[in-house]
Amino acid sequence: MALTRDRNSELSDPRVRRTQAALQRTLIDLVQGRDLSRISVADVAERAGVSRSTFYDHYRDVHELAEAACTAMIDDLIDAIPQPETGDVPDTTRDDLLTFFAHLAEHAGLYRSVLGPQGSARVIDHVRRRATVAAYVGACRAATGDDAPADYTADIPHDAPAAFTAGALLGVAMDWLQRGCPRSPAEMAAMTRPLLTVLYRGDDHTPA
């Protein structure tokens, strides 16, 4: 199986990359119309024009495929999480939140499927962990002035404000998605911004 192969040689093989890309595109297409829990390996393989054994050469199951397929989109989403400044939430937070909710709305079918109650716990945890790192790194940047690119896979210490920010934003986003996005991204940004302002208002919220 691919999981036991040398990763560098696997990534250098254009056939592997093409097959993985085809499987990922297929899953993204399928989740637009049905819950992830209702999509089987056979569904993906048939739609992608490969055998089930070929599927298992690359992924353990549909959930691992979903995580791989969504990673780039998730990182785009995480990039839009507001980066608070020491002392208050910056004016750019309004734009960041608008970008965050606009991205969710643009891909509502995908996120509703993978993050909803019938979605993938692994993908939800994947998003939560990356969002927590993004919130932590954002506060560190504000405190130090460092604007180095974020590594969303980094190991960070426990930080309650970062975890709270990630959990709160994802909770609001998932509820909004499951209700069919009844408010516009701009309205959601306007409603959410004061909540973050309260969270980051204070004398000291610099990460430990």
Mean pLDDT of 136-154: 73
pLDDT digits (tens, 9 = 90+) for 59-101: 999 989 988 887 777 777 777 776 655 444 444 555 788 988 9
CA distance 203 to 183: 34
Positive or negative, the CA dihedral 92, 94, 96, 102 is negative
pLDDT digits (tens, 9 = 90+) for 14-59: 889 899 999 999 998 898 888 888 999 999 999 999 999 999 999 9
Is residue 115 pLDDT above 50, yes or no? Answer: yes
| DSSP codes of every residue in 42-67 | HHHHHHHT--HHHHHHH-SSHHHHHH
CA distance 168 to 93: 15
Is residue 182 pLDDT above 90, yes or no? Answer: yes
Is residue 127 pLDDT above 80, yes or no? Answer: yes
All residues at 6 or more sequence positions from 78 whose CB lies less than 8 Å from its CB, including other chains: 127, 130, 131, 134, 152
Helical segments of the chain, H only: 7-12, 14-30, 41-48, 52-58, 62-79, 92-106, 108-115, 121-144, 160-178, 185-199
Burial of 103 from C-beta contacts in 10 A (0-12 / 13-18 / 19+)? buried
Is residue 4 pLDDT above 70, yes or no? Answer: no
CA distance 171 to 116: 10
Residue 207 pLDDT: 52
Residue 73 pLDDT: 77
CA distance 97 to 196: 10
Task: Please tell me whether residue 199 adopts helix, strand or coil conformation.
Answer: helix
Structure tokens at 82: 């507001």
pTM comes to 0.70
Tell me the pLDDT of the chain averaged across its residues: 80
Residue 119 pLDDT: 78
Task: Please tell me whether residue 85 adopts helix, strand or coil conformation.
Answer: strand
Residue 89 pLDDT: 45
